[in-house]
Amino acid sequence: MNLFAVLPLLKARLADLPDVHTVQSIQELAQLLEQRDIQPIDNALYVGLDGYAPINQTAGNKRMKKKRLSFSVILAKQFYGAVDVPHEDIATGEMLHRICASLQGWQPETADQRPMTITPFDEVQAVEPLYYDNFALYPLRFETEILINYSKD
């Protein structure tokens, strides 16, 4: 009954990755971008819902509806000056690879080990990296589909 039930599991999965300092909500990232006195945390991941959209269906039970959920995972990497660009550091590429490897094909489960989604997470096109006050923000984007039951029972 909760459209976003996978979000806490997504954050927990990312928090278990090696070298991740913290996993925060997109709200913290928005505050960083608005208030220049707050800095991102190196190796922090910011997770946010990009959107949810119904998927057209031509037949079947109209009380059951497929929806596509999209989530962004943004890696913050600190750098100092033009010669210290994070994407030239092998650790940045390795961290982005670990994030993708952890989520690509992942299908979260309920406590009784039933799939929470009808499709595994799939990496899709994200927005471009953002360079901000000695930090680079590297966005990744993942989608999955869920099935919602709108019956009154």
Distance between CA 11 and CA 103 in Å, rounded?
11
Q: 109: domain range?
A: 5-149
What local confidence, expressed as pLDDT, does residue 29 receive?
74
What is the pTM (predicted TM-score) of this model? 0.86
What local confidence, expressed as pLDDT, does residue 142 receive?
98
Cβ-based neighbours of 77, under 8 Å, separated by 6 or more: 42, 43, 86, 89, 92, 95, 135, 136, 137, 138
Return averaged pLDDT per consecutive 10 residues of the chain, 153 residues in all. Answer: 89 96 84 67 91 81 85 88 66 94 96 94 94 86 92 68
Beta carbons of 122 and 150 less than 8 angstroms apart = no
What local confidence, expressed as pLDDT, does residue 143 receive?
97
Beta carbons of 112 and 53 less than 8 angstroms apart = no
| Domain total in the chain | 1
Domain with residue 83: its CATH number is: 3.30.2000.10
Distance between CA 126 and CA 153 in Å, rounded?
38
Cβ-based neighbours of 58, under 8 Å, separated by 6 or more: none
What local confidence, expressed as pLDDT, does residue 59 receive?
67
What local confidence, expressed as pLDDT, does residue 89 receive?
76
